[in-house]
Structure 1
Amino acid sequence: MVTLAREKSELRELIDRHLGHLLEREMGRLDFLGDEERAAVRRYVADFVLRGGKRLRPSFVYWGYRAAGGSPADLDVVLPAACAVELLHACALLLDDVMDEAGTRRGQTTAHAGLAARHRELGWSGDPRRFGESTAVLLGMMAFTWADAALLDSGRRLGEALEIFTRLRVEIIAGQYMDLAGAARGTGGREEATLIARYKSGKYTVERPLHLGCAIAGGGPAVRPALSAYALPLGEAFQLRDDVLGVFGDPAATGKPAAIDLLQGKRTYLTAVARERAGARGAAVLDHVRDQDDVAAARDLIVSTGALDTVEARIAGLLVAARAAIDGADLPAEAAAALLELADAATGRNA
């Protein structure tokens, strides 16, 4: 008998193996490209997908499938959908790095920065930065397209699966737009930050992947609402944890530069609470983070106002709500146990 622990330990390996086969197939369709171009696609898309990531979103696809009664013996129908979500995540990261002007991701040079450096090294004409950003956007769209190719491989209840996958993509794009517009306006408090977090991250990380797996399994009408009752508080808690890590996280663990959210002036729930409590003084500190001394001052402000404690308490409360939703739902025991463990993994202090 396969235990839950063994099944969970094997899931990452199965997802990685399926991603590897899929990416090799798709790379094989690019034989019309020159060596330089193929090398860029492999390095910044295929290898980027395979070498890192926690596979959190694919895990939610799989356990949404199991929660709806899907069989662990019929993985060929759910693994392609899990891979589709991971490829979409790769697209989102590539584009995020361009928008955030990030220099590192997963401990490696970001695509746009690496491509710009290659442009300079080879002495090509034009602006290296513009080349790097433009090419990284195209590589993101390659991952976006490969996500569709992956989903097509599932072959089961494809219409419903595609409808959910489309909603997922619309929500993350709209959420990212709200985030950029809010930062440009320089406005917004807790309510706006919560709305942005729900659509930019929470739904696409937890709720829609669960719904996608549920759809592929043919889940009954009661399953999806039960999954949403768990996913919505957990998705918010996940983003709040990401906000905390974006200010206080260790780059060795996050794979991103230290205090990147402060340096970019992002408007998050965490900084919204600090702004409310510190008034004009707090806004002045948070709006002028340029160097590590400014970072230290902003961190001190967030701690001294109690904003960090407030967010930690909110994460804990949301996690309680997510767990209660699972405890009150009629789900297969293995799926319920796995979802409870995933909740801890998504909101842990090293998430």
Structure 2
Amino acid sequence: MSRVEAAQRRRRRNHCAPIGGSMDKIDPSELSFVSNGLSRPECILCTASAGMFVSHDPIGVLHIAADGSRKLYGRQDGVTSQQFTPNGIALMPDGRLMIANSGLEGGVWQVDRSGDCRPFLMEVEGRHLYPVNFVLADKEGRLWISVSTCQVPRAKAYRHDIADGYIVLWDGKTARIVAEGFGYTNECRLSNDGAYLYVNETFARRISRLPVAADGSLGARETFAELGIGDYPDGGTFDAMGGYWLTSVVSNRIYRFEPDGRPRLMFEDADPAYVAMAEQSFKKEGLTAEILYADAGKTLNHIASIAFGGEDMRTAYLGTLKMNCFPTFRSPVPGVRPVHWNWTF
């Protein structure tokens, strides 16, 4: 056997194989829809016994308990969605919920079970945090924060030639900027071993990753994957086999990337005419808010995030920008349990 043949055999043996099924593309007919009455359910957190937490515009977070009961937590002062737009959310070890506000007020907000909602972090190194897109808690209780851009309003950054997004790390005591120069920073995720931080850059249309040091410092950035026509990376998460699942707004696509960056299209519900219109605008002067948030797809409307849940971690829940429910499907591979899986609210 030649060296090339041996290497090919090793790659085939190490290739991620699905558990109990094929890695076939998911058909829209396989989707189920649950939990009506939601408002811009951009981000979803699943837990072992505390139910689910969903971003809810413009209040904050909707808690859907295991028994199906619901309760809203967040702003009760009549704030508008223009000022306060709950985007990413994170559950902390002490039970607080953190909310990324992509509205004009910006900042990271915190809410507890009593309903008290207040600013947690509004400024870092002299920079007002606007718009905050995502918050991610890690096993040390630190908080990774993605700020999409320095442009006001944020729609000015819906272009390929602006890269002023950055990542903030709150280490439990202080906050600092640990990386910058991203093309509209969206969701960020730590790899299963914590060695890398993966960053979705929506309008650079790529996934970057950076090595993580013990103190949270980030090393040199590298491109993990680049996306093409119609794709604008938004949300992402890892499965138990190290695959990275990515959602794209506009194209309504879901990809799964192997650990080496090889992509597989897992789902698509694209409207070709809408994708073409958005692509033309993006190449000329950038997307407008009107185009970006226009209706997309026949079944789904702007897939913004993905979260795994259920006892076997094989139920995938999709967050969206414009639907009032959760689309779900059964995944061919289980998701990895998030660090907050056994934390309580």
Query: What's the TM-score bracket when you normalise by the shorter of the two chains?
Result: under 0.3
Structure of higher CA gyration radius: 1
| Bigger proportion of residues as helix | 1
Higher RCO (Cα < 8 Å, 6 or more apart): 1
| Bigger proportion of residues as strand | 2
TM-score, L = length of structure 1: 0.26
TM-score, L = length of structure 2: 0.26
